[in-house]
Structure 1
Amino acid sequence: MTGAVPSRRHDIADDLRQQITTGRIKPGERLPSESGLAGQYKVSTVTLRSALAVLQREGLVEKIHGKGNFVRRPLRKIMYVGGWGTLDPWTAAEAALRVTVRSTTLQANGHLMTLLKVPIGSPLVEFTCISHEGDSPHGLARIYIPRDLAPAGVLDDAAPGRDAVRRFATLGPPPAAVRETVCARPPTPDEASCLRIGSAAAVLAITRVATDSTGRVVEAGLLVFPGDRVDAVFTTHQAIDEGQTQ
């Protein structure tokens, strides 16, 4: 009997998947209630939710708290440009993509102390940025800078530096060096909640550390993108010996 539930779960997922991919259920359309679908397929709500979880992990269905399950609209990918530390100018300028920013001050401890190479308790400014296309989150960034390096008025919503934050870009003058560490991993519970993705989905995580000519860390960024919603581009420029060009 134990093998019947997984099989039924996949049967339901297969049927709903076919309806979505053939257009019988349109992008953005709300699915019937979970209790209604459970009655339609003659299964328990536990089995029905397990079937929906399969489609959520595949990115076909999105569950919005308090509203229900919706067929996910095809998402346009955004591009992260490595080295520049920003979303590409075309993506960042598009009206369809908006970035909400929340800022706060805090004291460095634990991981942040190590990341920014500052003593425990050092004052920092934290920017939490979430990019959206419509109702769908595209990316999450937490950007940290030492409080004494924060541009004047940077905590003000109208400050010029806010434009850089909205592009996930570095805030201050161009740094002497930017080190980016990239990995693919499952999201943390907080990231999964912010980005509205399943815990089994893969995210692209970028840790960006910018330093000045003295080696001081002037900014650190922790960026997370759902793996199916971003392309990351890194370009290497080879130094040319001027003597060889004569």
Structure 2
Amino acid sequence: MTQPAPSRRHTIAEDLRNQIATGRLKPGERLPSEAQLAAHYTVSTPTLRNALTLLQGEGLVEKIHGTGNFVRHPLRRVTYVGGGSTLSAQSDEPLRTTVRTTHLRAHGHLTALLKVASRSPLTEFLCVSHEGRSPHSLARIYMPRELAPAGVPEGLLAARLEQLRPRMAEVRETVSTRLPTPDEVTALRISSTLAVLSITRVGTDAAGRVVEAALLVLPGDRADAVFTTHHTPKAGRSEA
């Protein structure tokens, strides 16, 4: 049976993919403009952009708005370890993390997430990890304001939270995959067609009070998740 001919966007993507694989296009190199590439391949600009979208979804090309399309450096994969500390993404070498602190009032989904009344004072930590100059993943961590540390240096947030918040007696994690929001596309410089690993983690203390809620977004082309369950064997009953 005759196979259908590949579409022009797939043909263009395959040619650029081969150039990247063989080193003709090197990591960090800026591609020719979309207009130049469209003229080179004798296709319309929308067809050329569709081809680039395929490569962006594979993590081979990064589009920086206002600057152009660049060959991505090989992405470092991280492993999210379930039930761990606040920032549980691990890799051979730590990624650089920037932290932005904002004071706000509970509203919308935050009231249900933290089980607080509307307009209760909260603190949000927006954490963006970077590999080199490229954003790698992001997390939004919310805490009741009276529990939140002040003046946290970059890279020390997890340690400070461990010191100051009440010990978490239970951690509940909800994991799903979805397409990124427009804000996430911009913040992480990823394709809108690249699925992300979305993790909502809520930690409560022994009294059932929510002491921390974290919303983590890990692009699917660079993240794995591992959850380990430890079973405690029941003590055997002695026979009479």
How far off its partner does 1:241 sit?
4.5
Counterpart for residue 21 of structure 1: 21
How far off its partner does 1:178 sit?
0.5
TM-score by length of 1: 0.85
User: What is the rounded CA distance, in whole Å, between the counterparts of 1:215 and 1:87 in structure 2?
Assistant: 22
How far off its partner does 1:131 sit?
0.5
- The total of aligned residue pairs comes to 232
Counterpart for residue 108 of structure 1: 106
Counterpart for residue 193 of structure 1: 186
How far off its partner does 1:243 sit?
6.8
| Counterpart pick for 1:131 among 120, 129, 132 | 129
The RMSD of aligned alpha carbons is 2.6
After superposition, the C-alpha distances for 1:77-97 in whole angstroms (9 at most, x for unaligned) are 112221113455863x835x1
Change (3 A) 1:168 1:227: farther
Change (3 A) 1:87 1:118: closer
Counterpart for residue 98 of structure 1: 96
User: After superposition, where does 1:134-213 map in structure 2 within 5 Å?
Assistant: 134-150=132-148, 154-158=149-153, 163-165=156-158, 172-213=165-206
Change (3 A) 1:12 1:169: farther
User: What is the rounded CA distance, in whole Å, between the counterparts of 1:30 and 1:219 in structure 2?
Assistant: 41
Counterpart for residue 231 of structure 2: 238
User: What is the rounded CA distance, in whole Å, between the counterparts of 1:29 and 1:173 in structure 2?
Assistant: 48
TM-score by length of 2: 0.87
SS of residue matched to 2:156: helix
Counterpart for residue 3 of structure 2: none
The percent identity for this pair of structures is 63
Establish whether residue 82 from structure 1 lines up as the match of residue 77 from structure 2.
no
Counterpart for residue 70 of structure 2: 70
SS of residue matched to 2:7: helix
| Structure 1, gaps ≥5 residues long | 1-5
Bigger drift between 8-17 and 109-118 goes to 8-17
SS of residue matched to 1:27: coil
Q: Indicate conservation of the 8 Å contact 1:129/1:166, yes or no.
A: no
Q: Indicate conservation of the 8 Å contact 1:164/1:171, yes or no.
A: no
Bigger fraction of residues in helix: 1
Amino acid at match of 1:156: G
SS of residue matched to 2:186: helix
Amino acid at match of 1:233: V
